Amino acid sequence: MENIDSKTLKMLLKQEEILLVDVREEHEYAKAYIEGTILIPLSSFHASKVPPSVGKKIVFYCRSGIRSQTACRVYLESNTGETVYNLVGGINDWIKEGYDYLSLE
């Protein structure tokens, strides 16, 4: 698992295909999420729920980067040898940096 910040994620999104996985709960996701994200709440998270991502980097995020760190560890238990990324500071940092986000509300 590698930790990345919002600036790095923004750069990666411009350069590569990324699989973004939000591990917050539905009510949190509804308030703010990054475009192209899939939602798999940590409360029901299992590595098998993450779609195949051949050729893509997988980036997990949550509100602040703690739950997504847990999701990274759980994912790697079933997918040893892969590299996954944890967004340090989560969606809070993304918004603080002024990057675009979507809302369902």
pLDDT digits (tens, 9 = 90+) for 68-94: 999 999 999 999 888 999 999 999 999
- Bridge partners of residue 100, in order along the sequence: none
The mean of the pLDDT values for the chain is: 95
Residue 15 φ then ψ, to 5°: -100, -30
Smallest Cα–Cα separation from 97: which of 58, 82, 105, 88? 88
**Residues of the chain where predicted confidence (pLDDT) is lower than 50:** none
Among 48, 44, 50, residue whose Cα is nearest residue 24: 44
Query: Has this prediction a pTM greater than 0.85?
Result: yes
